[in-house]
Chains A and B, each alone.
Chain A
Amino acid sequence: MHELSICSAIANAAAKHAEGRSVSQVTVQIGHLRQVVPDALQFSWEVVATTTAEELTKAHLIVEEVPAVVECSDCGVRTTLDMPILACGSCGSFDVKLLSGEELRVVSIDLVDA
């Protein structure tokens, strides 16, 4: 629901690191436990990227989705979640540690060489 603000944060981070150079691609990782809709993010990006910085006018947004994975503290089994319920897929315990799924970050930008 706040994809526009997330896109602004992506654009600001990318523009800061571009330091005036033209960006062809921005890669972000979004965990499955983040309530971000990739299509809405792409749509927002078209609006935000072209209006935030000159460097980003040709930049594509690549969204890498990261599955939510938990490790059970009782039996040690790792489970990739298909539901946002933090439980062990093997023994059913709720005493689990979250290994991934909350990512919300800019991984890299690709710069067009001058």
Chain B
Amino acid sequence: MGRFHVHADGTAHDHAHLAGHAADHQHGHDDDHSDGHDVGDHSGYTETGHTRVTILENLLSENDRVADDNGKRFAATGVRAVNLMSSPGAGKTTLLRKTLEQLSSSLRIGVLEGDIATTLDADQLEGSGAAAISVVNTSAGFGGECHLDAVMVRSGIDRLPLMELDLLVIENVGNLVCPAEFRVGEHARAMVYSVTEGEEKPLKYPVMFRAVDVVAVNKVDLLPHLDFDLKAFLANLTSVNPSARIIMTSARTGEGVDEWCDWLAAQSSSV
């Protein structure tokens, strides 16, 4: 038996029960799953020997609660936090190194490095001018998490002297899917995209491209050597995120790094 179900736009359809549902009992009640249910509503159907308890609990609520706590700690210590995301190899760490070299004389910048394992990214930032670096390896647990969540960031900032920082850059795990789903308490979200990735990526990973305030389009020094269609990429990006700021960069040649640094510096002074 399916569960008939009307959506806000008037479309209605039937959800088949996917998993082995005992055939010997029946649900003798309407269940439209509207948002109007009271939490904890014990709308029972005792004739079947089962009682349904309505929960309506957002699965990210615990993450979001910790993210709010992180945000309060940033506010109390006067730190602005930027969540930096990208696929593996887009150039996050290289761009970050250039950024630190350029901004460390004017801003006290901390870095929280999220990585499934190893401290290679953090090692690459040695001597770049970061005021403090904290590494969070996500490999603890089942096979390594594919993202930083609010709880991991909380443990990372426990090891940072927040009072001595103006800006915290949270370098997320290289991944275009999962990091976008988890708020960590950041003030702004940025992504590094490289032109070697293909122009269709915003359509394939819309959650990521939609979640960010700014996209650094990196490795533009390679454009003459690629078949990459920049115009098509920008059209795809705008279609999933019309308000994203776009900055063309090459961490290798330094092109656009000034503009990127200006954006970051502006984050640290905005209230």
Which A residues contact B (CB, under 8 angstroms)? 1-2, 4-6, 9-10, 13-14, 17, 24-25, 28-29, 33-35, 38, 42, 60-67, 69, 71, 78-80, 83-87, 94, 99-100, 104-113
Contact = CB atoms under 8 A, between A and B. Distances in A.
Contacts of B10: 78
Nearest to B40: A17
A85 to B, nearest CB: 5
A42 to B, nearest CB: 7
B239 A85 contact: yes
A105 B57 contact: yes
Given A67-B11, A99-B8, A108 B181 contact: no
Given A5-B145, A29-B33, A60-B20, A106 B7 contact: no
A61 B19 CA distance: 7
A113 B17 CA distance: 21
Given A25-B21, A60-B21, A106 B11 contact: no
7 contacts: A80-B9, A84-B203, A85-B206, A105-B55, A106-B55, A106-B59, A108-B53
Interface in B55-81: 55-60, 62
Contacts of B58: 104-105
| Interface-centre pick from A17, A84, A86 (highest chain B CB count, 10 A) | A84
Nearest to B27: A110
A22 B258 CA distance: 60
Nearest to A84: B206
B203 A85 contact: yes
Contacts of B46: 113
Given A10-B59, A13-B59, A69-B7, 7 more contacts: A42-B18, A60-B20, A78-B9, A85-B206, A86-B206, A107-B33, A107-B54
Interface of B: 3, 5, 7-11, 15, 17-22, 33, 46, 49-60, 62, 142-143, 145-147, 149, 175, 177-178, 181, 203, 206-207, 210, 238-240, 242
Given A1-B175, A13-B57, A107-B33, A35 B51 contact: no
Given A1-B178, A17-B55, A67 B207 contact: no
A17 B55 CA distance: 8
Given A62-B18, A66-B7, A84-B203, A94 B242 contact: yes
Contacts of A25: 21, 50
B206 A105 contact: no
Contacts of B242: 94
B239 A60 contact: no
A42 B59 contact: no
Contacts of B60: 9, 104
A88 to B, nearest CB: 12
Contact of A80 (B11, B53, B239): B11
A110 B55 contact: no
B42 to A, nearest CB: 9
Given A2-B147, A35-B207, A63-B18, A100 B53 contact: no
Contacts of B21: 25, 60
B207 A33 contact: yes
Nearest to A59: B19
B4 to A, nearest CB: 11
B178 to A, nearest CB: 5
Top 3 A-B pairs, shortest CB-CB distance: A60-B19, A78-B9, A84-B206
Nearest to B21: A60
A77 B38 CA distance: 30
